[in-house]
Amino acid sequence: MTNATRFLGTATVLVAAATFAKGASGPDGERWWSHVAVLADDKLEGRNTGGEGHRKAALYVAGQFQKLGLEPAGTAGYLQPVMFKSKQIDEARSSLVLVSKNGEEPLTLGDDAIIGSRIDPAPALEADLVFAGYGLANSEAGHDDFQGLDVRGKLVVCLMGAPASIAGSLAAHMQSGGERGDLLRKLGAAGIVMIPNPKNMDIPWARSSLARFMPSMGLVDPMMDDTRGLLLGVTVNPARAEKLFAGSGHAFLEILQAAQAGKPLPRFALGKRLKATVAVKRAQLESQNVVAILPGSDPELKGEYVVMSAHLDHLGIGEPIKGDAIYNGAMDNASGVAALLDVAAILKESGARPRRSILFLAVTGEEKGLLGSRFFADAPTVDRKAIVADVNVDMFLPLYPLKRLTIYGLGESDLGDQVAAVATELGVAPDPDPEPKRNIFIRSDQYSFIRRGIPSIALKVGFASGSPEAAVQKRWLTERYHAPSDDLKQPVDKPAAGAFDVLVAKLLERVANGAERPHWKDSSFFKRFAE
Ligand SMILES: [Zn+2]
């Protein structure tokens, strides 16, 4: 109770939260941390999708679900096996060469550019390069980077990001893999060459380029592959991008300045071709989602499900940084799965009997492109129409006390209003996404549910812009995000995590008890996906 008092602050709130206090170690965060400590241990080897460490982690989660007395809701007990194909670029047998009238200029793989394997690359390709602004088109946004441009059989070069004039959620959706894939296929493009905007890079190039040594994965079912039909995907180091523009009459710097000033980006042929030779190592493997249900109490509504999801996978073992090759993913996202287990325990202990059922879902393949959640949303183990909401927790960063809550998707559905109400009740200030440009709302597993029309939300411990907390999270992203140092040795705020779990438990209970299922707002872009 003392820790609860510290978090909740006011007496009235204590009464409201009383059902969660009984015997729960929740608010001090120790139980949460005990799960993180297991899942982010070196023994689990970074929980790579398809790896033995992930399998052990899945079995741990299943075991915890069982201990809590939740019902198994996978296709094999608590597990839902998912089949993946893995692809890894064999750099020693691959090359990229810029071809212009002045001759050939080889690009150094890793330093100048990297060949992506998410788009299944053709063994050999030579195609014209065309710069097409942000590479986006959407009539609703009144934006078309391809107007008057013929990109059939060509490689579309673009700056990552979207014009500031387009609303956050629409811009985020336009940049999603599914939308990009559909657009490029429709235009007949051979592939895409992306240049990150240094201003929006979460991870410095030197570190992000190391990820190319890890295999990418896709779902075996081709209809679940957003990039089908494309032949090449390349990412260019922005610090080396002028090579592409030399001789075109334009400079990359000019593009960046135009983007910074919110001016339209030019569209032009680069007057060069890119010649790619790509060797790929392929394999098939299985990895598991883990699914459990806390059954509802209402005879009718128990057939509806409020989902809480969190991804279990991380990056596995990769290139060593400072002598450490295990990418433990303690915050990304052992923390979220630990929250899922803690929330389930809090609800169990509270004796609450919500009317709708609550479905706890730990998914695989998030780091490979939201694949485990995509598989679940496309082939759910319960009737999809009966899934009323998804509350996703990914890297919620309890690095400082929970005074604010960042709600991704706050304005999109009445689920947002419900989170805001629960947060306010607990003395926590609800905030919209402070950095809409980073596309968080479509960058984690909630997007798999959004695409299926299901109102969704993602939550993190919030911060006020310009505050010391903002600096802490910024530094965390630069130094630890997708690095081996996201491990058990980092400082975390356990009571913040415990308080966060109480908040999520209250939210799930509230949604599960709601008279109506959540719905998208009429103004929401995402409403169109609702069946
Ligand atoms: Zn991640």
Are residue 13 and residue 104 in the same domain, yes or no?
A: no
CA of 330 to the centre of ligand 1 (A): 10
Alpha-carbon gap, residue 346 to 362, rounded angstroms: 17
Task: State how far the alpha carbon of 284 is from the alpha carbons of 49, 211, 289, in Å.
Answer: 11, 20, 17
CA of 33 to the centre of ligand 1 (A): 19
Are residue 144 and residue 29 in the same domain, yes or no?
A: no
Are residue 29 and residue 66 in the same domain, yes or no?
A: yes
Are residue 27 and residue 133 in the same domain, yes or no?
A: no
In a domain, 126, yes or no: yes
Alpha carbon distance, N-terminus to C-terminus of the chain: 44
CA of 61 to the centre of ligand 1 (A): 19
CA of 422 to the centre of ligand 1 (A): 27
Task: State how far the alpha carbon of 339 is from the alpha carbons of 345, 395, 460, in Å.
Answer: 10, 10, 11
CA of 354 to the centre of ligand 1 (A): 32
Q: Given 262, 278, 294, which residue is the final one in a domain?
A: 278
Are residue 51 and residue 159 in the same domain, yes or no?
A: no
Put simply, whether the predicted model's pTM sits higher than 0.95 gets the answer no
pLDDT score, position 221: 86
Are residue 291 and residue 316 in the same domain, yes or no?
A: yes
Report the CATH number that the domain containing residue 112 is assigned in CATH: 3.50.30.30
Q: Given 235, 255, 278, which residue is the final one in a domain?
A: 278
CA of 507 to the centre of ligand 1 (A): 25
In a domain, 429, yes or no: no
CA of 482 to the centre of ligand 1 (A): 6
Are residue 307 and residue 173 in the same domain, yes or no?
A: no
For 113, which DSSP code? E
pLDDT score, position 50: 93
215-227: b or e for each residue (b if 16 or more CB lie within 10 Å)? bbbbbeeeeebbb
SS3 for 126?
strand
CA of 49 to the centre of ligand 1 (A): 12
CA of 98 to the centre of ligand 1 (A): 32
CA of 313 to the centre of ligand 1 (A): 9
CA of 183 to the centre of ligand 1 (A): 26
Are residue 102 and residue 12 in the same domain, yes or no?
A: no
Alpha helix stretches (DSSP H) within 232-378: 242-245, 252-260, 335-350, 371-378
In a domain, 428, yes or no: no
Are residue 153 and residue 167 in the same domain, yes or no?
A: yes
pLDDT averages per 10-residue partition of the chain, 531 residues: 32 38 62 98 96 98 98 98 94 97 96 93 97 96 95 98 86 87 97 94 84 86 87 97 96 97 96 97 96 97 98 93 94 98 96 95 94 96 97 98 96 95 97 82 90 96 94 94 96 97 98 97 89 60
> What is the DSSP annotation of 2-38?
HHHHHHH-SHHHHHHTGGGTTT--GGGTHHHHHHHHH
Q: Given 231, 261, 278, which residue is the final one in a domain?
A: 278
CA of 19 to the centre of ligand 1 (A): 34
Domain count, the chain: 2
CA of 253 to the centre of ligand 1 (A): 30
Using CA atoms of 398, 349, 69, 445 in order, give the dihedral in degrees to the nearest 10.
Answer: -30
CA of 493 to the centre of ligand 1 (A): 20
Consecutive H or E run containing 327: strand 324-327
pLDDT score, position 278: 98
Consecutive H or E run containing 470: helix 468-479
CA of 489 to the centre of ligand 1 (A): 18
CA of 460 to the centre of ligand 1 (A): 14
CA of 152 to the centre of ligand 1 (A): 34
CA of 444 to the centre of ligand 1 (A): 9
CA of 254 to the centre of ligand 1 (A): 32
CA of 461 to the centre of ligand 1 (A): 16
Report the CATH number that the domain containing residue 355 is assigned in CATH: 3.40.630.10
Are residue 364 and residue 446 in the same domain, yes or no?
A: yes
In a domain, 315, yes or no: yes
With contact defined as beta carbons under 8 Å apart, do 365 and 216 qualify? no
CA of 524 to the centre of ligand 1 (A): 27
Are residue 146 and residue 104 in the same domain, yes or no?
A: yes
With contact defined as beta carbons under 8 Å apart, do 276 and 330 qualify? no
Q: How many CA atoms lie within 13 A of 423 on its CB side?
A: 23
pLDDT score, position 531: 60
CA of 190 to the centre of ligand 1 (A): 29
CA of 332 to the centre of ligand 1 (A): 5
In a domain, 231, yes or no: yes
Are residue 344 and residue 492 in the same domain, yes or no?
A: yes
CA of 346 to the centre of ligand 1 (A): 26
CA of 314 to the centre of ligand 1 (A): 6
With contact defined as beta carbons under 8 Å apart, do 338 and 33 qualify? yes
Alpha-carbon gap, residue 424 to 141, rounded angstroms: 34
In a domain, 384, yes or no: yes
- What range does the domain containing 219 cover? 91-278
In a domain, 406, yes or no: no
pLDDT score, position 3: 34
Minimal CA–CA distance to 163: which of 239, 255, 227?
255
Tell me how many degrees the CA angle 30-36-41 measures, rounded to the nearest 5: 130
Alpha-carbon gap, residue 170 to 147, rounded angstroms: 19
In a domain, 190, yes or no: yes
CA of 306 to the centre of ligand 1 (A): 24
CA of 511 to the centre of ligand 1 (A): 27
